């Protein structure tokens, strides 16, 4: 096994074998060989409702009762409304009032809007968390070692793999929809609080034992836009508000770039436009970092100058990609998520060229093919990159969980050219390190690291080295970048963890565990 991509001191099979509270076998990641998930065991019970003319129930509590939700079960949510979500809170309030305990929340992700869940963990309503991301108070609480069961961190492609394989069995999916008819034909594109794609909800609905659609806009049957089919919906509940789409963009998504990010953006564009994949019909996905988004401007200019049009963009779609669509510079957008309110509105406004896809279609490496596997380029962000190209996007400089796995490892593995953009120095720390604190994306899937200091190409990609070394782009090694940064800010002190106390397991997209996050020890903890 290639040990460069696994930190076997903090994660190995022996450690995994001793971890309690997870009800399926934990397998250590092997970067040289894909983990073969056990044969699918996911079962969707057939429904025996007979003929029903409506599925609308009076309120959330009635729906929760009808689903048979009980202590110890697993419930799911999607995070399309991000910082504006109001559905998790309403469902959890009802659950708590009904006295149901010991639940696992398996959300596609969680944001600062869900900080209140800390209280539900403290009182035993919630005892398990499975998610792509954790931030703010929840991140602090989990990293503080306060939840008995380790959190499972999954990528956006790994989560549907877990659902389809039966590793993640969802008892009840509570799915916000911006509109639904009385039978549950639903979408995120119409109604009072349109959030665009409802992609993360689709696999949940397909496999959950019971699915409840929660909407603030009940439309006459049939809903003219059906992204989520009534075939997978058991109950529909109307609420006053599902949330505020104006808060979708925020947190992870910044729409302006610093001068340093502008340099990175130019370097990214330089790389992309120098490669043969930059040709008529090319495809790309961009993350939500400022540099990544700023790179659109010079790429767009090069497209116009050379008369090249993109075939498609993928992933979390922003207004930037919608602008390219409107300009005719890209033909199709595949939206697993709409990353800002404008992109959300465009799903309805440009229905023929927005394709709402499920997280499984987007990134699940173990269906017949996810879209990530056809990407030419992906531009990703990072908190840290190590000299083996491993990337951390989840633990902060204090060792606390404050990020998300997202589609990072999925797109890095699938795209022909994966580019990680990171400022050399961030917050007086070097972003290029000897070993990242947490490996979300193993280095063998990362092709190029772009910083404000230069461009590092993975030695595994001699083809890219051959081409890019003939350009005027500032090619460096990661070691050079690290030395440059450490020359300015010095070497950071090691972060202290309690290695007897795992708080989160990082599941790779193939279902193996590729890292473990431990309890962070704060300096004031030691002093106390």
Answer for which of 5, 141, 232, 453 binds a copy of itself (CB under 8 A) is 232
3-state secondary structure 349-417: HCCCCEEECCHHHHHCCCCCCCHHHHCCEEEEECCEEECCCCEECCECCCCCECEECCCHHHHHHHCCE
Query: In the bound complex, what is the minimum distance in angstroms from residue 489's beta carbon to a copy of itself?
Result: 37
Answer for which of 88, 176, 228, 233 binds a copy of itself (CB under 8 A) is 233
**Residue 320 DSSP SS3:** helix
Query: In the bound complex, what is the minimum distance in angstroms from residue 34's beta carbon to a copy of itself?
Result: 6
What part of residues 271-290 is at the interface with a copy of itself (CB under 8 A)? 281
Answer for which of 119, 244, 262, 332 binds a copy of itself (CB under 8 A) is 332
Query: In the bound complex, what is the minimum distance in angstroms from residue 483's beta carbon to a copy of itself?
Result: 34
Q: What is the DSSP code (8-state) at residue 315?
A: E
Query: In the bound complex, what is the minimum distance in angstroms from residue 131's beta carbon to a copy of itself?
Result: 22
Q: Which is nearer to a copy of itself, 340 or 510 (CB)?
A: 510
Contact letters for a copy of itself, residues 289-328 (x by CB under 8 A) = ----------------------xx----------------
CA angle, residues 445, 197, 165, in degrees to nearest 5: 55
Candidate segments 66-74, 229-237, 462-470, 499-507, binder of a copy of itself by CB under 8 A = 229-237
Residue 277: CB atoms within 10 A of its CB come to 15
Give the DSSP H or E segment for 519.
strand 513-520
What part of residues 379-438 is at the interface with a copy of itself (CB under 8 A)? 413-414
Candidate segments 11-19, 91-99, 356-364, 484-492, binder of a copy of itself by CB under 8 A = 356-364
Say if residues 197 and 227 touch (Cβ distance below 8 Å): yes
* Cα→Cα distances 433→265, 309, 420, 478, 494, Å: 22, 38, 14, 9, 11
Cα 512 from chain centre: 17
Contacts of 100 (CB under 8 A, 6+ apart): 64, 69, 70, 71, 125
What part of residues 34-63 is at the interface with a copy of itself (CB under 8 A)? 34, 36-37, 39-53, 55
Q: Is 368 in the site for a copy of itself (CB under 8 A)?
A: yes
**Residue 500 DSSP SS3:** strand
**Residue 345 DSSP SS3:** helix
Q: Is 373 in the site for a copy of itself (CB under 8 A)?
A: yes
- The CA distance from 339 to 251, in Å, is 11
Q: Is 355 in the site for a copy of itself (CB under 8 A)?
A: yes
Q: Which is nearer to a copy of itself, 139 or 184 (CB)?
A: 184
Q: Which is nearer to a copy of itself, 136 or 410 (CB)?
A: 410
Query: In the bound complex, what is the minimum distance in angstroms from residue 523's beta carbon to a copy of itself?
Result: 44
Rg (CA), the chain: 22
Binding site for a copy of itself (CB under 8 A): 34, 36-37, 39-53, 55, 161, 164-165, 183-184, 211, 220-222, 224, 226, 229-234, 281, 311-312, 331-332, 334, 351-353, 355, 357-358, 360-361, 364-371, 373-374, 413-414
């Amino acid at each position: 096994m290639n040990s460069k991509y696994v930190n076997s001191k903090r994660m190995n099979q022996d450690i995994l074998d001793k971890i309690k509270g997870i009800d399926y076998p934990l397998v250590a990641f092997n970067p040289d060989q894909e983990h073969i998930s056990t044969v699918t065991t996911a079962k969707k019970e057939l429904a025996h409702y007979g003929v029903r003319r409506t599925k609308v129930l009076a309120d959330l509590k009635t729906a929760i009762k009808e689903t048979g939700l009980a202590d110890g079960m697993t419930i799911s949510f999607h995070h399309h409304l991000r910082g504006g979500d109001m559905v998790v809170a309403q469902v959890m309030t009802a659950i708590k009032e009904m006295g149901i305990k010991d639940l696992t929340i398996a959300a596609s992700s969680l944001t600062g809007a869900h900080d209140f869940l800390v209280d539900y963990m403290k009182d035993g309503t919630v005892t398990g968390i499975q998610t792509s991301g954790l931030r703010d108070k929840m991140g602090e609480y989990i990293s503080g070692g306060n939840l008995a069961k380790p959190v499972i961190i999954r990528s956006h492609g790994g989560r549907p793999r877990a659902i389809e394989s039966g590793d993640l069995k969802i008892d009840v999916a509570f799915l916000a929809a911006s509109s639904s008819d009385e039978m549950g034909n639903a979408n995120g594109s119409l109604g009072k609080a349109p959030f665009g794609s409802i992609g993360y909800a689709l696999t949940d609905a397909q496999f959950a034992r019971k699915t409840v659609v929660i909407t603030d806009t009940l439309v006459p049957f049939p809903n003219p836009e059906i992204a989520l089919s009534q075939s997978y919906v058991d109950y529909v509940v109307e609420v006053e508000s599902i949330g505020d789409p104006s808060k979708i963009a925020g947190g992870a998504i910044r729409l302006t770039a610093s001068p340093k990010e502008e340099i990175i953006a130019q370097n990214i564009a330089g790389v992309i436009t120098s490669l043969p994949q930059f040709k008529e019909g090319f495809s790309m996905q961009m993350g939500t970092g400022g540099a990544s988004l700023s790179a659109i401007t010079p790429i767009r200019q090069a497209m116009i100058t050379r008369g090249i049009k993109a075939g498609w963009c993928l992933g979390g779609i922003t207004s930037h990609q919608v602008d390219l669509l409107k300009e005719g510079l890209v033909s199709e957008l595949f939206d697993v998520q709409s990353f800002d309110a404008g992109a959300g509105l465009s799903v309805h406004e440009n229905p023929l060229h927005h394709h709402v896809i499920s997280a499984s279609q987007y990134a699940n490496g173990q269906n017949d093919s996810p879209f990530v596997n056809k990407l030419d380029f992906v531009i990703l962000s990072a908190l840290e990159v190590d000299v083996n190209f491993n990337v951390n996007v989840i633990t902060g400089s204090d060792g606390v969980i404050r990020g998300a796995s997202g589609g990072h490892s999925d797109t890095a593995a699938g795209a022909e050219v994966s580019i990680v953009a990171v400022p050399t120095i961030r917050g007086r720390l070097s972003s290029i390190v000897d070993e990242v604190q947490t490996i979300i994306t193993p280095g063998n899937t990362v092709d190029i690291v772009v910083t404000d200091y230069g461009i590092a190409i993975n030695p595994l990609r001699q083809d890219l080295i051959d081409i890019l070394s003939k350009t005027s782009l500032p090619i460096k090694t990661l070691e050079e970048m690290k030395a440059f940064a450490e020359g300015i800010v010095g070497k950071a002190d090691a972060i202290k963890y309690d290695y007897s106390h795992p708080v989160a397991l990082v599941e790779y997209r193939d279902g193996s565990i590729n890292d473990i996050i431990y309890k962070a020890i704060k300096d004031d903890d030691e002093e106390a």
